[in-house]
A and B are shown apart, each in its own frame.
Chain A
Amino acid sequence: MSKKIIKYVITDLLRNRTVLLYTLVLLALSLGVFLMEDNIDKGIASMLNIVLFVVPLVSIVFSTIYLYNSSEFIGLLVSQPLKRQSIWLSIAVGLGVMMAFAFFVGIGVPTLIFAYSASGLMLIVAGLLLSVIFVSLAMWTAVYIRDKSKGIGLAIILWLYFALIFDAILLFLLFQFADYPIENIMVAISMLNPIDISRILVLLEIDLSAMMGYTGAIFRDFFGTGGGMFVTLGVMLLWFAVPLWLSNRYFKKKDL
């Protein structure tokens, strides 16, 4: 990685209007929720829905568009005496840091001020991880697909999949196999979606798991323990590392 490129990507993004707007919208939403809601847990639950929907969407779509708009510039960097890997990873770090920073200013800081609690901290951790995971997915989309509109289309489809379609399939399976003991399998399947992992982690912290019945108890059993937490964190890191690694491997051979 090259510190210089990270520095310049961040300088560029700091002045980007979309990033500024994103931060301000998050800030307005979180201030709105926390100022209207006295109960911290209820506030966190409302914030959770915003975080799980908006953060992945903006992270993946904005990063994809940014990468396509920078494609000429990335080409110019490749023509300079720099390793391809260091260019690509530096851009990933720059984007990841900026999206995480925007989230932290927009939601993290208000949460720390108005709802400082275990569930609040978990919400911040989940949001930061989701930001970088979806940046990593964007790197993967943008490197494989040359055409800008197709790439952005795929980014939106990926988001739809993780935010809506996956849950729909999960619900369908749940009803189909309601007669079988599938709780343990549910834990495993939820690992396939970083948004679901985040939702479960935060919900367990606000003690709404009681409302999730027997499955909730199984989740509690798994995610509530140190070992389960460790595994979950590992899975989230894999969600970040694997798409980035795949994209980097492809970028090294890519024609620009």
Chain B
Amino acid sequence: MIEIKQLSKHFGKLQVLREIDLSLEGGQCISLIGPNGSGKTTLIKSILGMVIPSSGTIHFEGKNISREWAYRNDIGYMPQIGEYPENMSIGQVLDMMKDIRKIPENLLDTELYEKFELDKMLDKRMRTLSGGTRQKVSACLAFMFSPKVLILDEPTAGLDPVATEILKDKIIDEKHKNKLIMITSHVLSDLDDLVSQIIYMQDGRVMFHKSLVELKVDTGTNKLSKAIAHIMSLKQELSKETIYE
């Protein structure tokens, strides 16, 4: 569904992505993990067209996305920090997105909207909302138009446990509908039961892209968090060795 070839990006002298090759298919829930500053968000933003790659290509369903915009009809994006015009109400923000997407009202997926009970605070201004409520609005917007691809940047940060559970159930539902879901998150335990593939990034490189089963076999542990910790410690030892040399 998404093919990334030799993707590189630098901001000035800083190399953020180095020759990334990835192939992402539907029906998967992919967790994108890596230390801070490893290029996760830049990778996501490249797919969304928010960051223009320095070199390399991204193909979405066979089409190069460079200078394209219509392909984003099929992507739902939930940003890390959802900032909205502060004087607009929740209702207006939702209306605006519906206007932009031009999808008829009866085809909208309003499950999250109902479960998060946003209908009770439609008139609240965005500036008065807490971080968690903003996240709920962002999540609701990402899922509302039933996109084929969902890109969630730190979705559970700031959400309370109840909301996190609702979101998790929703993600699992969508995965069963053969959609591609990409999640970045630092909080591993939240994701254990959804993830089917792991992409581990470090210093702008994809260190590996494996299914969860493979990873557990390879590392000999049963829990995702342990497997990741195992990998991270290995990587650190490796980099220390190179320094000593």
A255, B88: Cβ atoms closer than 8 Å: no
Which of B70, B79, B86 contacts A69 (CB under 8 A)? B86
Binary flags per residue of A71-112, CB closer than 8 Å to B gives 1, else 0? 111011111111110000000000000000000000000000
How far is it, in angstroms, between the C-alpha of A8 and the C-alpha of B91 when the chains are bound? Answer: 12
Contact assessment for B84 and A79 in the assembled complex, using a CB-CB cutoff below 8 Å: no
The CA-CA distance from A227 to B96 in the complex, in Å, is: 45
Which residue of chain A is the closest to B98 with respect to CB atoms?
A4
- Please choose the segment from B48-56, B159-167, B180-188 that sits at the chain A interface, where 4 or more of its residues have CB less than 8 A away: B48-56
Does B72 lie at the interface of the complex (its beta carbon under 8 Å from any beta carbon of A)? yes
Q: Which of A16, A75, A254, A255 contacts B87 (CB 8 A)?
A: A16
Q: Is the CB of A79 within 8 A of B99?
A: no
Report if A79-B11 is in contact (Cβ < 8 Å); known contacts: A12-B85, A12-B87: no
Does B168 have its Cβ within 8 Å of any Cβ on chain A? no
Q: How far is the CB of A254 from chain B (nearest CB, A)?
A: 8
Give which listed residue, B11, B79, B86, contacts A76 with CB less than 8 A: B79
Residues of chain B in range 87-122 having any CB-CB distance to chain A below 8 Å: 87-88, 92, 96-97, 99-101
Instruction: Enumerate A199-256 residues with CB–CB distance to B below 8 Å.
Output: 253-256
Q: Are A80 and B97 interface neighbours, CB within 8 A?
A: yes
Indicate the size class of the contact surface on chain A.
20 to 34
A16 to chain B: closest residue by CB: B87
Question: Interface size for chain B: under 10, 10 to 19, 20 to 34, or 35 or more residues?
Answer: 20 to 34
| Interface membership of chain B positions 41-71, coded 1 if the CB is closer than 8 angstroms to chain A and 0 otherwise | 0000100111110000000000000000111
CB of A16 to closest CB in B, whole Å: 6
In the assembled complex, B196 has its CB within 8 A of some CB on chain A? no
Known: A11-B88, A81-B69. A4 touches B96 (CB 8 A): yes
Taking CB atoms and an 8 Å cut-off, the chain A residues in 45-92 that contact chain B are 69-73, 75-84
Q: Is B82 an interface residue (CB 8 A)?
A: yes
Question: With an 8 A cutoff between CB atoms, is B219 at the interface?
Answer: no
Chain B residues near A16: list those with CB within 8 A.
87
Which of A72, A82, A255, A256 touches B100 (beta carbons < 8 Å)?
Answer: A82
Tell whether, in the assembled complex, residue B77 and residue A8 are in contact, meaning their CB atoms are under 8 Å apart. no
Nearest A residue (CB) for B85: A12
Across the two chains, which residue of chain A brings its CB closest to B53?
A255
Whether the pair A73, B100 counts as a contact (CB closer than 8 A) is no
CA distance A15 to B85 in the complex (A): 11
Nearest to B47 among chain A residues (CB) is A79
Q: Which 4 pairs across A and B sit closest by C-beta, in order of nearness?
A: A72-B83, A12-B85, A15-B87, A81-B72
**Residues of chain B having any CB pair with chain A under 8 Å:** 11, 45, 48-52, 69-73, 75, 77, 79, 81-88, 92, 96-97, 99-101
Other A-B pairs beyond A79-B50, A80-B100, 7, CB < 8 Å:
A8-B88, A11-B87, A72-B81, A76-B77, A79-B72, A79-B75, A254-B52
Residue ranges of A at the interface with B (Cβ–Cβ < 8 Å)? 2, 4-5, 8-9, 11-13, 15-16, 69-73, 75-84, 253-256
Q: List 11 A–B pairs whose Cβ atoms lie within 8 Å, in order of A's numbering.
A: A4-B100, A12-B88, A16-B87, A70-B83, A72-B83, A75-B79, A76-B84, A79-B50, A80-B72, A255-B45, A255-B50
